[in-house]
Structure 1
Amino acid sequence: MGRRLDEDREAFWRDVVERQAESGLTVAAFCRQEQISPPSFFAWRKKLTCREKPRFVPVTISAPASAANFEIRLKGGAVVTVPSEFDEASLRRLLQVVCAVERGDA
């Protein structure tokens, strides 16, 4: 019985986090509207994000492979242009920041 309760609780919070992301509201405004504790929201969003498996997203190559730069198009419409000589460690940090911004953590 306890496991079912945990599954129900996780499903509830997964839905809440998804609705907030789709709402266009800030976390504070969404939580106020839904009468949800912001610290609980943040804790569950972090917990659920850590459980998610990495997802692959479609990539469109807009120039030949020999181009000097490449672009990362974000789901919100922003475009990040990255020089081809960008080192791997810096690119990894850039992508971590981009992911944090898209999640609303930054």
Structure 2
Amino acid sequence: MTTPQRIRRSAAQWREIVQQFIDRGLSATAFCKHNEIAYGTFVRWRHKLSLQEEALPPDKTSADWLPIDLTDPVDGAKRTWEIELELPGGVQLRMRAA
């Protein structure tokens, strides 16, 4: 009896495999058997990827963003602006108008 060879897959490959599972509508057991994937590994990756998706912020669409008018309402002149964002870990993002 031969031992099945282990196949190492990237997270991107596992995302694709999980998407194929969703698209095919088979049970996890049937899908794994048909594709010669270890059931335990499949379940672990499906869980891991679902946790990663929950941690992602929702996609922003254009309807979520509002324009900001940077023109002075008194004289109509454009004013300079600065934006500073401090992130965890000491990362800072600074933006200034030219």
> What range describes the TM-score normalised by the shorter chain of this pair?
0.3 to 0.5
**Structure with the largest fraction of helix:** 1
Higher Rg of the two aligned structures: 2
Q: Normalising to structure 1: TM-score of the pair?
A: 0.43
